[in-house]
């Protein structure tokens, strides 16, 4: 479980996050949604320690305040975190196998045979069996994301962060990635947090949804309540397209 309390982040005079609070539960896929520039990525970077919040608390497992930890202690928490970056962030000079194996090489004493077995397991889980020797430059966008997921789960993380996993993907592949993230979350009881502005993700896998608007929490709920919300900012975001607005009007009638 991850709990954030009154998290604030400023860059100079600009307040990017203005007191965000929320609770992300294990086994649930939590989505942080909002328009570009609403502070989603900054919030995620604060939560994983790539940025230091100006104030507030980020509690892992209910009691460990990540913000107050020193680098050494943060490092231990990070070993329980897997992260899928927007562009997958695969290491260009390594094969798929080496990319996925990298955390095992760095932090475990497993034999080569055990490591290879674990890599195969993870690649199999993301439906990329047999692509071990490919280079990242030989992969499509969706495959890169799946390798990114395999690398993120190879250490059996307790927490999984995905920063816009659907960006740059076609709708069909986006849904596959969403389903994969959702399945992995339930299967391994991971606390998963996904940054997205993809409406398919919101309606498809949003067990918990936190909507950010201009750096503030404007709404929270789940996929069942998101379409019925009274929040003007949320409705402006969700029903930005004329087509979706028409569907909503038809449903209301």
Return residues touching another protein (CB under 8 A): 48, 50, 72, 75-76, 78-79, 81, 83, 85-87, 89-92, 102-103, 105-107
Choice between 161 and 237, CB closer to another protein: 161
Smallest separation, CB 53 to another protein (Å): 16
Least distance between another protein and beta carbon 143 (Å)? 16
**CA-CA distance, 161 to 150, in Å (whole number)?**
13
Whole-number minimum distance, CB 76 to another protein, in Å?
Answer: 8
Q: Which is nearer to another protein, 6 or 73 (CB)?
A: 73
- Strand order across the beta sheet in which 191-196 lies: 81-84, 159-163, 191-196, 29-33, 208-213, 216-221
Q: In terms of CB distance, is 23 or 86 closer to another protein?
A: 86
CB 187 within 8 A of CB 124: no
Question: From the CB of 50, what's the least distance to another protein, in Å?
Answer: 6
Instruction: List, in sequence order, every beta strand (DSSP E) within the chain.
Output: 2-11, 14-24, 29-33, 55-60, 64-65, 81-84, 159-163, 191-196, 208-213, 216-221
Sheet containing strand 64-65, edge to edge, reads 14-24, 2-11, 55-60, 64-65
Of residues 31 and 147, the one with the C-beta less far from another protein = 147
């Amino acid at each position: 479980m991850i709990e954030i309390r009154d998290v604030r982040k400023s860059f100079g005079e600009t307040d990017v996050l203005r007191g965000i609070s929320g609770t992300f539960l294990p086994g649930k896929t939590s989505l942080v949604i909002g328009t570009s520039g609403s502070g989603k990525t900054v919030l995620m970077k604060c939560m994983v320690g790539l940025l230091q919040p100006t104030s507030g608390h980020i509690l892992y497992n209910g009691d460990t305040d990540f913000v107050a930890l020193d680098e050494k202690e943060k490092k231990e928490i990070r070993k329980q975190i897997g992260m899928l970056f927007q562009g997958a962030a695969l290491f260009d000079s390594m094969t798929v196998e080496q990319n996925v194996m990298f955390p095992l090489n760095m932090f475990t004493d497993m034999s080569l045979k055990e490591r290879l077995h674990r890599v195969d397991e993870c690649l199999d889980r993301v439906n990329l069996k047999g692509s071990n020797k490919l280079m990242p430059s030989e992969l499509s966008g969706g495959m890169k994301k799946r390798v990114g997921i395999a690398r993120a789960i190879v250490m059996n993380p307790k927490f999984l962060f995905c920063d816009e996993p659907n960006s740059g993907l076609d709708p069909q592949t986006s849904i596959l990635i969403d389903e994969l993230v959702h399945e992995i979350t339930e299967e391994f009881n991971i606390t998963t947090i996904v940054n997205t502005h993809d409406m398919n993700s919101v309606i498809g896998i949003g067990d918990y949804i936190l909507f950010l608007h201009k750096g503030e929490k404007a709404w929270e709920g789940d996929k069942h309540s998101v379409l019925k919300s009274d929040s003007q900012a949320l409705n402006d975001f969700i029903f930005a397209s004329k087509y979706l607005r028409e569907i909503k009007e038809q449903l209301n009638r």
